[in-house]
Structure 1
Amino acid sequence: MAFGISRKELHTWKQEIDKGNIAFLTHFWVDERFPNSHCVTKVGCKDIEKLAKWGKQYGLKEEWIHHYKHYPHFDLMGTTQLTILQENGLEDHIQRFKIRIT
């Protein structure tokens, strides 16, 4: 279950993906399979090759791309999430969603 974002933020993320850009969307998230994660960052792009190349620099494998409707994306959690957000200058995501590694 996703929460903590506006419709406008979701719409903007989808627009950026449709333009072929790498787009980030972080939101609060509850999933019993991942009890230690309270949020997830979705990094998407409609250009699968571009997204796979982007992910490779962080050790993400192309087969980890979720092909959800028209919005292919990686799901980032934990240390990988924090590192990638920091390296991409997305401190606002880290602060807003209180992302910490304990």
Structure 2
Amino acid sequence: MAFGIKKHELAEWKEKIHKGEIAFLTHYWIDDRFPGCTTVTKAGCRDIEKLAEWGRKYGLSPEWIDNRKPDYPHFDLFGMKQEEVLKKEGIKNFLGKK
């Protein structure tokens, strides 16, 4: 279940994706399959090849791209991988984390 996201944040994420940028959207998230994880970051880009190449830098397999909505392909990042990627991308404060 996703929550804690504002409409303008979602709109900005979608706009960046359509421009071919790597875009990040972090929101609160609870899923019993991932205990201890309370947020997820969607790292998306409309250009699948660009997204796959970006993901390889962080050890993400192209097969992990969520492409159920073809206009918004993305990786779901959570846990330690989420923190690692956001830190390396220079995103220091997401949902109150430092």
- Give the TM-score normalised by structure 2: 0.94
Report % sequence identity. 56
List 4+ stretches of structure 1 deviating above 2 A. Answer: 96-99
Give 1:32 deviation, angstroms: 1.2
- Give the TM-score normalised by structure 1: 0.90
Between the two proteins, the alignment pairs up a number of residues equal to 97
Give RMSD over aligned pairs: 1.2
Give structure 2 stretches of 5+ with no counterpart.
Answer: none
Give structure 1 stretches of 5+ with no counterpart.
Answer: none
Residues 17-37 of structure 1: per-residue CA shift (max 9 Å, x gap)? 011100000000011111221
Q: Give 1:89-100 correspondences, 5 Å limit.
A: 89-93=90-94, 96-98=95-97
* Structure 1 or 2: more helix by fraction: 1
Give 1:97 deviation, angstroms: 4.2
Paired with 1:67 and 1:21, the residues of 2 have a C-alpha distance of 16
Residues 50-90 of structure 1: per-residue CA shift (max 9 Å, x gap)? 00000001000000000031100000011111011011111
Q: Which amino acid aligns with 2:85?
A: I
